[in-house]
């Protein structure tokens, strides 16, 4: 598993996967992964050659700045869950 934090790194990785004619299952999340996410990840992994899970908490999705600040963030646990998909 890789943790990629830069857009250009992700673009390079995706290009490489596409060059090999492999498929990518993408599961976009806001983190705080739970059983619903895990089910989606299992399906995406089973139906594709590669699995990509994004964790991005978008401040534009929150009306109230306090809600954004208090949104649960558990990156270490989320990474652990994502690693279990291998």
**pLDDT tens digit at each of 86 positions of the chain:** 999 999 999 999 999 999 999 999 999 999 999 999 999 999 999 999 999 999 999 999 898 888 998 998 999 999 999 999 87
Q: What is the pLDDT of residue 86?
A: 75
Q: Which long-range contacts link 69-75 to residues 24+ away (Cβ below 8 Å)?
A: 71/30, 71/32, 72/31, 72/32, 73/31, 73/32, 74/31, 74/32, 74/33, 75/31
**Report field, pTM of the whole predicted structure over 0.75:** yes
Q: What is the pLDDT of residue 74?
A: 94
Q: What is the pLDDT of residue 64?
A: 83
42 is catalytic: no
Q: What is the pLDDT of residue 85?
A: 84
Strands 50-55 and 24-29, by their bridges, are: parallel
Q: Which of 27, 33, 37, 40 is catalytic?
A: 37
Tokens 């869950």, located at residue: 81
Q: What span, in angstroms and rounded, lies between the C-alpha atoms of 49 and 31? A: 23
């Amino acid at each position: 598993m890789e943790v990629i934090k830069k857009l250009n790194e992700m673009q390079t990785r995706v290009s490489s996967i596409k060059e090999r004619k492999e498929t990518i299952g993408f599961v976009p999340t806001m983190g705080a992964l739970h059983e619903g996410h895990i089910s989606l990840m299992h399906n995406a992994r089973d139906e594709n050659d590669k699995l990509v899970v994004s964790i991005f908490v978008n401040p534009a999705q929150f009306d109230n700045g306090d809600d954004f600040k208090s949104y649960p963030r558990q990156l270490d646990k989320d990474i652990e869950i994502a690693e279990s998909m291998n």
